[in-house]
Chain A
């Protein structure tokens, strides 16, 4: 019992006794409007490389981390298999859809393959979740990590469906209404739309009765059970929702890279998703996207940056690891927590900023 309790305390961090707001918190926040406007006109500002390699990739990783944030922040369950679910969904798109490996792919059109992939990946994640909810707290990390690793080794060994370690290449992307949806600008908008959809869905769900009950389960499962809530059913439902979000990200990812291989579902990549979520902050849905932006920027530019400083450019992961350690050491609420504390220290007399963020 004490295990789960400690875990929850660590997750909830600083934001505790704030009153949940019933309105959308973004409506009254000018910064949110500015960010939304910039994201919408991004294709005017950024060229193809920045648009896809930085922003679309950030949004896709952000969606994956968002699904982890939903589970960890609202459900108190740190699942390391979110990337595995996304990867499974990506594999299913490649297997059911059209790809260069004709002996494996079934050649369905994308509007059949994608729902199929989403359904299967959601089922996969829900099953994994049903397994993981049999345990609590840090055990969940271990079990989901083991599931992720088993999937990675399985894709490496299985040639009939997953095509072994070469993976599936040249996956076809949708092409309809005269638009090539994988061309830079349409694809950016597709990703942005899905990301916005997931973001607002999580935001909405966190204040809907289900989300509130889930947060109750996180804070005190025994009391919620006494009140008549089915604790495990809520947790499994949370896994189902998070799996769907992760599956959406998986579909976008396979369209982005046009290929999928075991390297994309490796254990290191699973842990990267956790790092993204924790660095960004797992108390509210914007955190994962901030974390993803930092991660992608570091991954893309760390090499040049380190070389310019006269260091070995290959030490990117060292930088990521040290940054992650620093965040875990000094801010249990990620970058958002740091930002919020800085804001507070700037305005000692004002009351707590950001009134609508209390649903963490």
Chain B
């Protein structure tokens, strides 16, 4: 951090000012002039929270994607299909048993199994041929999409939120002051906050696992140079299978999350594939912190954009990607 400040004082200053402005916007009571100019504070805060929680969901999808890419150089364009598959499995389990938590476990296990099958049956055969692997994942995503359309139809599904998570929670953030002088606090759906907290926990756990454990060390070494790692006697195929299973499982969990706060339907696979593409392009391919930062930026941009400039929301996301590519083609937090 301090090195960044030393090397780019101007950028650091801009970043600090931006953060200060953002904090002021979130915590201060807005003066009436500002409310007239850009609308109610409640709308703004809701958009910010939606953006952050959406970022959490994007992070769940994109971190698996970026982990698989980082280690195996495999751009898994079927990742969106794994997401949707996890969502459908979660829906089936939660509607059959009524247990929300069980649906996470089953979705994780089943998508991880699909991931293992893909890695063992398909990708191991064409190791090192990036482009061919990518083409195969495109073909697989088409086949999966059609199979899921066949099995589940074109309807919208929504996973039932468990009772203990339904309803809003009051946050200690003042949205307005009533004429009687009484402050009005922000109310926000509990379930989204819980899911966001869970994705933060998963992110931190992943970071710790990657940086503090032996398997994490092996994976990091594999990201840097997998040939040398294989030469040192690590059973690299096993590591590949494990990472693929874990990345796929994360996509499955994300599917359940997405099915809870949004809905599941054909086409969502493409949407989340693209979200994870943009997130990892912005954050940097193969980097977990990059995925977190990218997910946060894209989630916020999407939600704030859809509130303040509804016609051009998607363009904002796209412009961010273009800007990052123009300034730092390897992504914001990539090392190379």
Contacts and interface: CB of A to CB of B under 8 A. Distances in A.
A146 B318 contact: yes
Given A6-B129, A142-B75, A150-B314, A321 B143 contact: yes
Nearest to A318: B146
Interface string B292-336: 000000000000000000111111011001100110010000000
A295 to B, nearest CB: 13
A320 B142 contact: yes
A134 interface: yes
Given A10-B132, A138-B75, A157 B281 contact: no
Given A131-B325, A150-B317, A158-B311, A278 B278 contact: no
A143 B325 contact: yes
A305 interface: no
B135 A328 contact: yes
Given A6-B128, A7-B131, A145-B274, A135 B325 contact: yes
Interface string A131-163: 100110111011101110110011001111000
B274 A325 contact: no
B73 interface: yes
Given A146-B321, A318-B147, A138 B130 contact: yes
A158 to B, nearest CB: 6
Interface string A309-345: 0001011011011101100110010000000000000
A225 to B, nearest CB: 17
Contacts of A320: 142
B183 interface: no
A130 B146 CA distance: 35
A143 B318 CA distance: 10
A134 B143 contact: no
Given A157-B313, A157-B314, A141 B134 contact: yes
A68 to B, nearest CB: 13
Given A143-B281, A145-B274, A324-B142, A138 B134 contact: yes
A37 interface: no
B187 to A, nearest CB: 29
The main secondary structure of chain B at its interface with chain A is: helix
Nearest to B128: A6
Contacts of A138: 73, 75, 130-131, 134
A143 B317 CA distance: 13
A321 B142 contact: yes
Kindly name the residue among B128, B129, B132, B139 whose own CB sees the greatest number of chain A CB atoms within 10 A. B139
A314 B150 CA distance: 9
Nearest to B314: A153
Nearest to A132: B325
A153 B274 CA distance: 11
Nearest to B126: A329
Contacts of B129: 6, 9-10
Contact of B318 (A150, A159, A321): A150
B251 interface: no
B138 interface: yes
Interface string B64-100: 0000000001010100000000000000000000000
Interface in A24-76: none
Contacts of B310: 157
A72 to B, nearest CB: 9
A134 B317 CA distance: 19
Interface residues of B, number: 39
Nearest to A271: B138
Contacts of B318: 146-147, 150, 154
Contacts of B200: none
Q: Which of the listed residues A3, A268, A320, A325 has the most CB atoms from chain B within 10 Å of its own CB?
A: A325
Nearest to B330: A135
Contacts of A154: 312, 314-315, 318
Given A6-B131, A131-B322, A268-B270, A317 B139 contact: no
A247 interface: no
Nearest to A157: B311
Given A146-B321, A157-B310, A315-B146, A325 B139 contact: yes
A18 to B, nearest CB: 22
Nearest to A72: B131
Given A142-B281, A321-B146, A329 B136 contact: yes
B97 to A, nearest CB: 30
A139 B135 contact: no
Contacts of B73: 3, 138
Contacts of A142: 75, 277, 281
B75 A141 contact: yes
A198 interface: no
B62 interface: no
Contacts of A268: 270
A293 interface: no
Given A137-B130, A328-B132, A317 B146 contact: yes
B145 interface: yes
A160 B167 CA distance: 39
A66 B152 CA distance: 36
Which 5 pairs from chain A and chain B are nearest by CB? A321-B142, A321-B143, A325-B139, A150-B318, A153-B314
Given A6-B130, A142-B281, A322-B143, 7 more contacts: A10-B130, A142-B277, A143-B321, A150-B321, A157-B313, A157-B314, A321-B139
Interface of B: 73, 75, 77, 128-132, 134-136, 138-140, 142-143, 145-147, 150, 270, 274, 277-278, 281, 285, 310-315, 317-318, 321-322, 325-326, 329
29 contacts: A3-B73, A6-B129, A11-B131, A137-B131, A141-B75, A142-B75, A145-B277, A146-B278, A146-B321, A150-B318, A154-B314, A154-B318, A157-B310, A157-B313, A158-B311, A267-B274, A271-B138, A274-B135, A274-B138, A278-B135, A312-B150, A318-B146, A318-B150, A321-B146, A322-B143, A324-B142, A325-B143, A328-B135, A332-B132
Interface of A: 3, 6-7, 9-11, 78, 131, 134-135, 137-139, 141-143, 145-147, 149-150, 153-154, 157-160, 267-268, 271, 274-275, 278, 312, 314-315, 317-318, 320-322, 324-325, 328-329, 332
